[in-house]
Each structure stands twice: as C-alpha cells, then as structure tokens.
Amino acid sequence: MQFSTFAEFIAMDGHGFYVWLSYGVSIALLTLLVFFSIKTNKNIIRQIQRRQQREEKLKQAAQQHQDSISQEVTHESTS
C-alpha cells in the first residue's frame, strides 16, 4: 500500500485531479459502451419481433379478406 491515509490517496501528491479525471472518464466511457451495446441488441430483437407480428397480422387480414370474397361469391351464385 502506497498511501497511509485515505486523504493522501485522494490527493495523490497534487496529481489527484488528473488521475481521478482519467479513471473517471475512462470507466464512464466503458460503462456507457457496454450499456448501449446491450441496449442495441435488445432493440434489434424487439424490432424483429414487431416486424413479425405485423406480418402475421397482415397475413391474417389478407386471409379474412380472401374468405369474405369467396363467401360473397358463393352467396351470389346460390341466389
């Protein structure tokens, strides 16, 4: 251990500001990088899910539309 008191550790013989600035900025940037990388991953998965749901709905709507047309056709042909 190079420092005998906590105050000495913070002061670093007058270099405290520079040392703590470096460590603070570095750790903050690295944390932000990890945070946004994980967030991007989750966002992409959510986007793909949403796109799939939309396609599913469109497919269902098209199917219903098809059904109603064919029903009408059969209705007209019987009457």
Partner 1 sequence: MWKWLHPYANPEVSYHFTGKLIPWFSKLTFTLLFIGLIWALLFVPADYQQGNSFRIFYLHVPAAILSMSIYVGMAIAALSSLVWQIKLADASAAAMAPVGAIFTAIALITGAAWGKPTWGTWWIWDARLTSELILLFLYLGVIALHNAFEDKTLAGKAAGILALVGVVNIPIIKYSVEWWNTLHQGSTVSKLGAPSMSSSMYWPFVVCFIGFICFVTWVICIRFRSEILARNAMRPWVRDLVNQQETK
Q: What are the residues binding partner 1 (CB under 8 A)?
A: 1-3, 9, 12-16, 18-19, 21-23, 25-26, 29-30, 33-34, 37-38, 40-41, 44-45, 47-49, 51-52
The greatest distance separating any two alpha carbons of the chain, rounded to the nearest whole angstrom, comes to 101
Closer to partner 1 at the Cβ: 41 or 66?
Answer: 41
- Other beta carbons within 10 angstroms of residue 16's beta carbon come to 14
- Least Cβ distance, residue 64 to partner 1 (angstroms): 23
- Least Cβ distance, residue 47 to partner 1 (angstroms): 8
- Least Cβ distance, residue 61 to partner 1 (angstroms): 20
Q: Looking at the chain, list the stretches that DSSP marks H as alpha helix, in order from N- to C-terminal side.
A: 6-11, 16-78
Residue of 55, 56, 13 lying closest to 3 (CA atoms): 13
